[in-house]
Amino acid sequence: MPMRWMALAAATVLLMQAARAAPAPTMEILLSPHDMEVVKGPEPLSVVFNGTVRLDKLPELAYQVTLEGSTSEGWPAVCVPSNLTITNLEAHPFTCTVSIPAEATFNASREVIVEVKGLARGLLSSTEGRGDAKLIMRPAPINNTPGGEAPWVSLENSYLTGVVLGLTTTAVVFTCVGVYAILRERRARRSEK
């Protein structure tokens, strides 16, 4: 019996020395496309990034990798699969789906950072990695007219024509009233003389 304990202790010491001697791997996470342009209207929207995760060396037989997505806006970002077992040096694919809620509205373009963090755990070592991409958010154009054009774009649009006609009519009326008032004042002065 004591011999078994000594063998077990020796094996444990050898494993611990091997763990110290073999450095932990480095994890690489890539998302594609790195920059994605999205036009966002009033409805919810989902965008998908394709990703790969890989380890540069395997000092152990296998690593359990956990992937977790996030965005700078706090929107949900789900990685599928979220758990992987890596036993080789190949790139392992996954997807990261970002859900943009309907209430996410804005008037100007802005950038949203999508980040995927990974944790690889082996028996004796672990490592972390991260990858990111950029969502370039653009607001959807305003579409108030049946022809699909914004009201201030086309001169043939009845909205713009009505506004221009109304302003022009108002300007002509004020000019006529002003000229009438000036002429009436001049007549009044002549009749006093």
> What confidence score (pLDDT) does residue 108 get?
66
- The chain-wide mean pLDDT, for the chain, equals 78
> What confidence score (pLDDT) does residue 151 get?
46
Separation in Å, CA 87 to CA 61, 158, 168: 6, 67, 77
- Residue 35's identity, in one-letter code, is D
pTM here? 0.61
The CATH number of domain 23-139 is 2.60.40.2310: yes
Residue 137: pLDDT above 60? yes
Going along 33-174, which residue ranges are E strands? 35-40, 45-55, 63-71, 77-80, 83-86, 92-100, 110-121, 126-139
Q: Which of 6-20, 50-64, 97-111, 167-181 has the highest mean pLDDT?
A: 50-64
When pLDDT is averaged across residues 97-115 and rounded to a whole number, the result is: 80
Tokens representing 90 are: 């190949």
Domain regions of the chain by residue span: 23-139, 142-193
> What confidence score (pLDDT) does residue 155 get?
46
Q: What stretch of H or E contains 163? A: helix 158-192
Cα gap 54→63, rounded to integer Å:
11
